[in-house]
Chain A
Amino acid sequence: MRSTFRISLVVVLALMGTSAFAHHSRAMFDQTKQVALVGTVKEFQWTNPHCWIQVLVPDSSNPSAEPVEWGVEMGAPVEMMRKGWKPGSLNPGEKVTIVVNPLRDGQHGGLVVSVTGPDGRIIGRPAETPR
């Protein structure tokens, strides 16, 4: 695990982002940070290759300002369904709290870590729950 191979493994895992994302790396997300987005669902995209949530997040320091739209990425529909999600798990207008690993480039986007729905419960199975 040391020497050249250590480097290759690090590169490989960095490129993979140690994720099961089939078609792209997760290295664009800062996995050392977590941001909680408290807002309203604008759109839930149950789509390939990945599901997305568009969420409108008000600026708590300036309530009169326009809310900021974030686009946050999830797994593929099949992966999400296996985690307990369904195509109708979220609907426009619902209040949610979404914890994400933010994009490293500063755009308003991120990788979803968890979503708390309007009923106050986390949607889907908690992280690392054996299936």
Chain B
Amino acid sequence: MMANVIRRIAVRRVPWAIAVTLIAGCLFPAAGQTSSKERIKAFAKLPDWSGIWELDAFVGQADGQQFSAEGQRRLKEYAAALRPSFTSEYKAKYDEIRKKVEAAIAADPDHPPVTHEPLCAPPPFPATSTPGMYQWRVTPEETTFISTVGAVRYIYTDGRSHPPKDELWPTLMGDSIGHWEGDTLVVDTIGTRKRLYMGELSGFFVPTSDQLHFTERIRMVNHDQMQIDYTVEDPVALTKPIHAVIVHVRVTDFNRMVEETDCEQNERDPVVNGRFTTVVK
């Protein structure tokens, strides 16, 4: 009997409670939140980065999936711009890694050694220079980078700081915060994993310290071209910052994002004892 009374009261009261909460939420947004109108205004100030993009070096690939002559030229330019100037400690580390790689290649040139981690996993930060296409999702609070090869980056533009040191650990993409300077998104990234910087543009085996710090200035140069200005700092590993400007172009021959990292579907180049092999049947 008593239970039925309580149930009836609850059924009558709950809709009112929900309505009051919703109205209050609209009239008095919680601290840090904006009203819909304010958010729409904030959206209107943001640049339109819609579409699908890729690194300019990938344009005009040959049928054998080689880079085009122009693509190879661009890659060499990027590699030159990204050339690190190591401190003596990290030069020694770099030389050691390089010698190991060269020795492994010389020992069995038919089966190249694996020297980079990503393989079929998402490519590491900044992930914009790896094969595959990508998109940007720009909102007032966050810009998200999504690529067909599984990389996702979250760039917070809500005014927050990086997490305190005791809440930060090395991750594939690190921790990125950003702010807008006109139509340019300025991104500050720390906390990336070591030896992964700039992916294949500068080599997979470049040693870096836990003080690795990236600044990116990302903007659309014109309707079909985006430009990312990178500054790479590492006071422990590098004697001076690296600065490079990488160009990305709008993809015009394909209009959908298709996930490409499902290597388990048909992996015929398995790694055996740290080397690539090929299964021909």
Contact present for B200 and A103 (CB under 8 Å): no
CB distance from B80 to the nearest CB of A (A): 6
A-B pair number, CB within 8 angstroms: 182
Contact present for B102 and A11 (CB under 8 Å): yes
CB interface residues, A 21-67, toward B, < 8 Å: 21-28, 45, 47-50, 52, 54
- Chain A residues near B72: list those with CB within 8 A: 18
Contact present for A11 and B98 (CB under 8 Å): yes
Contact of A15 among B69, B131, B204, B266 (CB under 8 A): B204
Contact (A22, B66) CB under 8 Å given A12-B79, A14-B112, A103-B278: no
* 0/1 interface trace, chain B 44-79, chain A, CB 8 Å (1 if under): 000000000000001111111111110010011001
Contact (A71, B268) CB under 8 Å given A19-B65, A20-B61, A127-B62: yes
Contact of A104 among B98, B110, B113, B261 (CB under 8 A): B110
- The total of chain A residues at the interface (CB under 8 A) is 63
CB interface residues, B 78-128, toward A, < 8 Å: 79-80, 83, 94-95, 98, 101-102, 105, 109-113, 115-116, 118-120, 123
List A residues at the B interface (Cβ < 8 Å): 1, 4-5, 7-9, 11-28, 45, 47-50, 52, 54, 69-71, 73-79, 81-83, 101, 103-105, 107-109, 111-114, 124-131
List B residues at the A interface (Cβ < 8 Å): 58-69, 72, 75-76, 79-80, 83, 94-95, 98, 101-102, 105, 109-113, 115-116, 118-120, 123, 130-133, 148-149, 200, 202-204, 252-254, 258, 260-263, 265-269, 276-281
